[in-house]
Structure 1
Amino acid sequence: MAKNQRIRAEYLPYGRQWVDEADVNEVIKVLQSDYLTTGPVVTEFEQAFASNVDAKYAVAFSNGTAALHGACFAAGIEKGDEVITTPMTFAASANCILYQGGKPIFADINNQTYNIDPNEIKKKITSKTKAIIPVDFTGQPANLDEILDIAKKYNLVVIEDAAHAIGATYKNRKVGSISDMTMFSFHPVKHITTGEGGIITTNNRRYYEALIQFRSHGITRNRNKLIDDDGPWYYDMQFLGYNYRMTDIQAALGKSQLKKVDKFVNLRKKFVSLYNNAFKNLDEVITPHQLNETSSSWHLYIIKLNKSKLAVNRKELFERLIKENIGVNVHYIPVYYLSYYQELGYKRGLCPKAEELYENIITLPLFPKMTESDVNDVIQALYRALNRYRK
């Protein structure tokens, strides 16, 4: 096979949902029922999800960003407050702070795990700090014990962004049961999908009640909370909330998908193992590092390029893989590089380790509906793009 010959006729994206007939049938049931939204299936999905991650409560939202916004509200973040997070994440992890009038403070990452570094968090704490939003980057949990210890010392709330980490564990505890609040995302490229959707898990009843009310305009029908009560029809809007409700259609899909989450995670782990074995002797590539105390659920497979060994630069390598119909990506552009954040006054140079990482990473395709043949196509394409021959 010639070095530049394409091995794929069809484009392989970096992520893709897996919706089967059982999922479709559950959605059809809801479409034929009395409730398309604000019905019983949302509650059933919330209860099933909370049970799956060993949490007391779960509150579903229309998307993961809305869920993060709700968590920031429940945490009491308001104008003038500072919240520490990582720059190596999607913009939503910081945007949710801005929605509440707070200020995102970016702390640098650990060079091995690419997660936020607790030592860097400590450097950024001030009298204005209200919360920490660690992100379980690629599916590997952040250093939660140390982060929670910091939070306890300074009376901070920990909102864990586990958009990548359904099915992950930290020291044999399930992600979703550890932090004050934990957000999961159900975007189609994530482990399970509801089309769009998100959820917050918590063991705190006060946060749970605030989240429920926040996602529905700030309205309550709880008789114990009403100031006035004209009758059984009466409700009250007690603060400015949002319409962030998940529909029963979404919840039906999520409830069905949740039954397969272990299967999906195990397939991701299998494909990661194939990648790691194929790349372990490639000097040009640094494969992901996983700590013994964590079990990643592998939302993303990110390779770091060893610049000193490369015959091509990252851009050229990226373009070569795209030409082979391999849907590579880069996760992520540091949040404060984005023009909106630059306009807010953030400057490059804030987090040197994160910036160096961004310059040298490529995300390879990883999703459960891949086949071993798909994985092999990616491996062979990377070897050719690096001007290497694989036996």
Structure 2
Amino acid sequence: MPSFSFVATANAVFSTGAKPIFVDILKENYTIDPTDLRKKITKKSKAVIPVHLYGNVAYINQISELAKKHNLHIIEDAAQSLGSTLRGKHTGTFTDIGCYSLYPAKVMTSGEGGFITTNSKKLREKLLMIRNHGMVTGYDTRVFGLNLRLPEISAAIAKIQIKKLPKFLYQRRKNAKIFSELISDISIKIPSERKNEKVNWYLYTIAIKNRNLVMKKLNKKGIGASAYYTMPIHKTPFYKTKIKLATTEWAASSVLSIPIHPKVTSKNLQFIAKNLRQAL
């Protein structure tokens, strides 16, 4: 799994008694690097967790080839990529299981919680038990489980939100296009889509020098620019290791996400672009 992600990905692995092995990312789109992944696979490896970070689609074909060769499961972390597609297929549906987040900051929300997709009936039945204390019909615990059910009120919110999702994604795409055009002449790394990829634009993330200084200047102007993730998982006190992940560490000190959510107007984008130019 990549170290350049929210720590929940690693915590999920650790909670099962397994050990997360951290892999570097691609500078191109901040997703797991298949070349480094190949180097990290050992006889002890059980699964690969590609993270579709910022809504960018991981190089799932190369990852799948490696997984098949080494008999590994793939668990897609699609927490940030609801609505992102590659060749018309949604992230989280390329493999046996995909995990999504409905946290308030995501492209749609249920207040909290998330959901899982799977094409395996057997896995679905096991997941239904795990989320309900391992029970099927009540007091008949068959596997270890916890109370992981999404509250009904949250599910009700999600049912309404998902109807609005196409509109949300359209506005994000529109804003991303406008902002890219506004800053196209600036010599910085701006996000883009590869062939046959359609990103949900959860986060519009640029890479710049003097990131912290630029972010501070933008924040002073009331612009909600943020940096995710300034401390990669392998650098945190709990998971700290001595491994070197060069691109991960570069990204941690360089990335800056610019607000392009549906409530951001064209006028807002012009204001942000103007202040970004002045801050650089």
Instruction: Place the TM-score, normalised by the shorter chain, in its bin.
Output: over 0.9
Q: 1:377 aligns with which of 266, 271, 276?
A: 271
Alignment partner of 2:93: what SS? Answer: coil
Task: Check whether the contact 2:182–2:270 (CA below 8 A) recurs between aligned residues.
Answer: no
In 2, Cα distance between equivalents of 1:289 and 1:369: 22
Q: Deviations over 1:210-245 (max 9, x none)?
A: 110001111121xxxxxxxxxxxx631123211110
2:134 aligned partner, one-letter code: G
Offset at 1:252?
0.6
In 2, Cα distance between equivalents of 1:178 and 1:219: 29
In 2, Cα distance between equivalents of 1:152 and 1:204: 17
Offset at 1:296?
0.7
Alignment partner of 2:94: what SS? Answer: coil
In 2, Cα distance between equivalents of 1:320 and 1:116: 31
Alignment partner of 1:184: what SS? Answer: strand
Aligned residue for 1:363? Answer: 257
- The number of residues matched between the two structures is 279
Alignment partner of 2:226: what SS? Answer: coil
Alignment partner of 1:260: what SS? Answer: helix
Instruction: Answer yes or no: is 1:190 the counterpart of 2:106.
Output: yes
Instruction: Answer yes or no: is 1:265 the counterpart of 2:169.
Output: yes
For CA contacts below 8 A with separation 6 or more, give which structure has more relative contact order. 1
Instruction: Answer yes or no: is 1:235 the counterpart of 2:139.
Output: yes
Task: Check whether the contact 1:132–1:156 (CA below 8 A) recurs between aligned residues.
Answer: yes
Task: Check whether the contact 2:75–2:96 (CA below 8 A) recurs between aligned residues.
Answer: yes
Offset at 1:185?
0.7
In 1, Cα distance between equivalents of 2:261 and 2:158: 17
Task: Check whether the contact 1:144–1:179 (CA below 8 A) recurs between aligned residues.
Answer: no
Aligned residue for 1:295? Answer: 198
Task: Check whether the contact 2:52–2:91 (CA below 8 A) recurs between aligned residues.
Answer: no
Provide runs of 4+ in structure 1 moved above 3 Å.
none
In 2, Cα distance between equivalents of 1:212 and 1:376: 47
Alignment partner of 2:161: what SS? Answer: helix
* 1:1-391 matched pairs, under 5 angstroms: 85-221=1-137, 235-283=139-187, 285-305=188-208, 307=209, 313-332=210-229, 333-342=231-240, 346-347=241-242, 349-386=243-280
2:185 aligned partner, one-letter code: N
1:104 aligned partner, one-letter code: P
What TM-score do the two structures reach when normalised by structure 1? 0.69
In 1, Cα distance between equivalents of 2:83 and 2:121: 23
Higher gyration radius (CA): 1
1:141 aligned partner, one-letter code: V
Aligned residue for 1:72? Answer: none
Alignment partner of 2:98: what SS? Answer: strand
Query: What are the ranges of 5 or more consecutive residues in structure 1 without an aligned counterpart?
Result: 1-84, 222-233, 308-312, 387-391
Offset at 1:350?
2.4
Offset at 1:377?
2.1
In 2, Cα distance between equivalents of 1:194 and 1:172: 25
